[in-house]
Structure 1
Amino acid sequence: MRIGVVVNPIAGLGGRVGLKGTDGKVAEARARGAEPRAPDRARRALDELAARTPEATVLTWGGSMGADAVRAAGFEPTVLGAPAGEETTARDTRCAVEAFCDADVDLVLFVGGDGTAADVAAALSGTETPMLGVPAGVKVYSSVFAVSPEDAAVIAATFTRVEEREVMDIDEDEYREGEVHPELRAVAWVPVAEDLQSSKQTGGGSVEALAEGVAASVREGVTYVLGPGSTVGAVKRALGFEGSPLGVDVWRDGEVLVRDGSEREILAALGEENVVVVSPIGGQGFVFGRGNPQLSPAVIRHCDVQIVASRAKLDDIGVLRVDTDDPDLDDDLRGWTRVRVGRVEQRMMQIV
């Protein structure tokens, strides 16, 4: 395995001295006596990586941007370059990642926060090279980070698949004033693993993002059966129409075929490929069988099922449930399934 390692040595510098971030505050952080956080986090991840895959080929950037920590962990790295000046910059990070891509690495392992993640993702744009973050920033809103430095090493050493996940960031000046508005900065390929953190977003932002994600993923010729509720209502608005809030609507290729339809009307509107989009009932977790009887077993059996929900709703309900009046169908639906919780991010949930 070939791993490119890049460290943002100033990531998290302003956290413990009360600056709520480092953007534009490096000098002030140091004046307050801030100690670097990222190098120690990098060393923890690399020590674990060396214990698990000592044979890995490690490529890195000079000095505090990787080489120091990589050598301290016992690797003999290939150093592809060095920071342009005494103070490292976002451009240094992007240059390092571009060099890793040219060297055909299997993974970019970076140490930093959301700003670093955005820089890495920008440099990887247009490639299929995955990235994985060792959390070292003050604010870590993106879902491309492992839970801990050690978890990052385990994932790097063992992953076999990748998926798209969200890179989020906030305006630190607004953050210091008490305003938190996470924004999607990029979508990146990341190893599939359980020990990745979820993206942090406000409830409204999450619903808006997942609605945009559904709208962006619609396929020509596919019929979409859109269930009731406010979350799927956001999907309907993202598709360009105001749906029936408590009813089921059918949409295909920009046209509303059925509004507030009955089972018979829905069945009549189905095509060769069909997707039913539903959201669980808050507090109960029912996907089918409560509030949407129009989505009968006959309708469901003709459709692929796409479940959407905010993170807060899933945290509250814990599991999903079905009660379709067809025990065989209920058994078919039970098990682990993906629920869209963001523009591209999904969470595994169990239907019981």
Structure 2
Amino acid sequence: MQQFKLGFIINPIAGLGGSVALKGSDGMAQHALSLGAKPQANARAAQALDVLLPYKDKIVIYTANDLMGEQCANALGFTVEVLYQSANTVTENSDSKLAASALLAEHVDIILFAGGDGTARDIASVVAIDDNHQQVPVLGIPAGCKIHSGVYAITPKAAGRIIELMINKELVTLTSGDVMDIDEQLFRQGIVKAKRYSEMQIPSELRYVQAVKSGGKESDELVLQDIAANVIETMNDEENTQFIIGSGSTTAFLMEEMALDNTLLGVDLVRELSLVASDMTENELYTAISEYQGSNKLIITLIGGQGHVFGRGNQQLSPRIIRAILAQPGNRDNIIIIATKAKLMALQNKPLISDTGDSELDQQLSGFMTITTGYKDQVLYPLASPQ
């Protein structure tokens, strides 16, 4: 029986900067670790491989040593061959590139990699489509702070589902996915400047592959003003309540309407319409929630074009923070989602997505959520846990 040759690369430091409000990990890994960041990329990758456990006898995983793939695949009992050995204590961009080159030389069936947009750029520099052709298809497991590229599955489990289809010979069509990235230095200043770098061939299973993130501010200012007016009225009516304001241009507009400084790509804390703290880390948020004697509510929006509510660009909102908010009176009503109807319609009936990394929590959050879409205007929209 011919075995499926799965190329597998993990960027162990991907997403490190998220929980400590660095908004990226490129060149910031040591700093993030010093601030108490915990690596998550291997756990995310394990969720994808877990889907493939029934097919262990049909798969050989070709990978890099230690945390770049070997430990994860071995722990789950797969047959593993290490083709690249990194000598770095903390992996570097060159490690992903060299690992990808080793997998190409082995002629794997697909390269499955875990990381963010920086990792996608590294992989693309080796395998991207050129004037001739791409040598091998790729698929990303979302594990970074920034996931703008269209080469990622919508969740780690979705990545596993795509590989499962390939193993069962149910999926053969390939399409091109854009590799996008942003300037992290500008990103940390609240400026989003995305750029298309290249493209790679990916399996074209649209149920499981995310769209390229829609960027920029909402254009319909009148609708945003109506949304902000409704939320501010709610905030005025809520006594002894502090509000955690998530990232994004829609929530940024809300902060502007309250004349408060805003961290466009971070998380801020507001009490009595006054800014209490800005650009908070996960630990700072948890302390603020735990020590406050009143109620805590979360105001968030969704990522345009993708529908993610949790798990993209807001890693500060960890499972323990979300659970703490849900544990208070009001339960899911403590999560206030705001978005224009145009933003929801752009999802083309696809559900919102919660990808916290905690499957039990994602399941708890799933179901119809109330979305504030204007002044005294709300709609019910489904939120789904990863598949």
Aligned equivalents of 2:348 and 2:116: distance in 1? 29
- Pair 1:133 & 2:140 matched: yes
- Pair 1:178 & 2:178 matched: no
After TM superposition, give the deviation of residue 316 of structure 1 in Å.
Answer: 4.6
Question: Which residue pairs with 2:203 in the alignment?
Answer: 191
The percent of aligned pairs where both chains have the same amino acid is 38
Question: Which residue pairs with 1:88 in the alignment?
Answer: 91
TM-superposition CA deviations, 1:64-111 (whole Å, max 9, x none): 100000101110211112113212111111111111111001100000
Of 8, 19, 38, which aligns to 2:11?
8
Aligned equivalents of 2:347 and 2:70: distance in 1? 46
Gaps of 5+ in 1: 205-311, 320-352
Question: Which residue pairs with 2:319 in the alignment?
Answer: none
Of 18, 21, 36, which aligns to 2:24?
21
Of 146, 151, 162, which aligns to 1:155?
162
Larger-Rg structure: 1
Letter in 2 for 1:154: R
Q: List aligned pairs for 1:1-352, cutoff 5 A.
A: 1-52=4-55, 54-125=57-128, 126=130, 127-158=134-165, 159-193=171-205, 194-202=207-215, 315-316=345-346, 318=348
Q: Is the 8 A contact 1:21 1:139 kept in 2?
A: yes
Shift >6 Å, 4+ stretches: none
Aligned equivalents of 1:144 and 1:13: distance in 2? 20
Aligned equivalents of 2:15 and 2:43: distance in 1? 11
SS, match of residue 166 in structure 1: strand
SS, match of residue 20 in structure 2: coil
SS, match of residue 52 in structure 2: helix
Please tell me the root mean square deviation across aligned C-alpha atoms, in Å.
2.0
TM-superposition CA deviations, 1:238-291 (whole Å, max 9, x none): xxxxxxxxxxxxxxxxxxxxxxxxxxxxxxxxxxxxxxxxxxxxxxxxxxxxxx
Q: Is the 8 A contact 2:104 2:136 kept in 1?
A: yes
In structure 2, do the counterparts of structure 1 residues 26 and 65 end up closer, same or farther at CA, with 3 Å as the change threshold? same
Q: Is the 8 A contact 1:43 1:72 kept in 2?
A: no
SS, match of residue 196 in structure 2: strand
TM-superposition CA deviations, 1:34-65 (whole Å, max 9, x none): 10010101111112122345411210000110
Letter in 2 for 1:175: F
In structure 2, do the counterparts of structure 1 residues 317 and 130 end up closer, same or farther at CA, with 3 Å as the change threshold? closer
Normalising by structure 1, what TM-score?
Answer: 0.57
In structure 2, do the counterparts of structure 1 residues 54 and 174 end up closer, same or farther at CA, with 3 Å as the change threshold? farther
TM-superposition CA deviations, 1:148-192 (whole Å, max 9, x none): 111101101213211111010001111111111111011100001
In structure 2, do the counterparts of structure 1 residues 91 and 318 end up closer, same or farther at CA, with 3 Å as the change threshold? closer
The size of the alignment, in residue pairs, is 212
Gaps of 5+ in 2: 166-170, 218-341, 350-387
Normalising by structure 2, what TM-score?
Answer: 0.52
Q: Which protein, 1 or 2, shows the higher relative CO under an 8 Å CA cutoff with sep ≥ 6? A: 2
